[in-house]
Amino acid sequence: KPKVIVMGRSNVGKSTFVKSMTADKTIRVGKKPGVTLKIAEYDMGNYYLVDLPGFGYMEGIDQKGQEEIKDNIIRYVEDNQRTIATAIQILDAKSFVEIVQRWEETRELPIDLEMADFLEELDLKPIYVINKMDKIKNSQWDEELDVISEKLGFLPPWRQWIDILAPAILKEGLGLEEIGERIKNNVKQYYDDLR
């Protein structure tokens, strides 16, 4: 059974996403306890949903701890590469743009982009969930999504990348259906490729 991994900087809404996806219909099949790497797997029927730890800045975790979490995530993804049908990376619409702008000034690659590059490199069929769109004025959605699309390396207009970019307001459940649809397609593709 393939895996669908869920990752993102801490506080982007990853737990909110995993909770809505797994609400009461699934059993958690494995939670490996560890100091820095807690991985929860949920049986979703024809795939496992894998909740990877949040990365980047977190209160109470120093630079070394952050590096360790990142290394663990990378190792997990590399070790499981062949069974990963798709990788979901969740971004915070508003802070992502700020983070990338800061990067353009300081030249220090933000972890979100580093992870995105890594997923593309391994050809893990990433889906980018652009969460917290409620923080963006409705009239500015297209403009903001074009900027995010470009920062991720996808030439605007963002709608060209509708299979890859999924705007969402996860706390209201908005976008979940579309994300579910994309997961379904990528899982199907995974099974087709096996044949």
* Minimum gap (Å) between residue 151 Cβ and ligand GDP: 19
Query: Torsions phi, psi of 154, nearest 5?
Result: -105, 120
The contact mask relative to ligand GDP for 106-145 (x = CB under 6 A, - = no) is -------------------------xx-xx----------
- Please state the separation of Cα 165 from the chain's center in Å: 11
DSSP string spanning 13-26? Answer: SHHHHHHHHHTTT-
Residue from 4, 16, 86, 115 in contact with ligand GDP (CB under 6 A): 16
Q: How far is the CB of 41 from ligand GDP (least distance, A)?
A: 16
The CA-based dihedral angle spanning residues 109, 110, 116, 118, taken in that order and rounded to the nearest 10 degrees: 50
Which three-class secondary structure state does DSSP give residue 3? strand
Q: Based on CB atoms, which residue is closest to ligand GDP, 2 or 13?
A: 13
Among 49, 73, 166, 169, binds ligand GDP (CB under 6 A): 169
Query: Could you give the count of Cα atoms lying within 13 Å of 27 in the half-sphere of its Cβ?
Result: 2
Q: Is 11 in the site for ligand GDP (CB under 6 A)?
A: yes
Task: List interacting residues with ligand GDP (CB under 6 A).
Answer: 8, 10-16, 54, 131-132, 134-135, 169-171
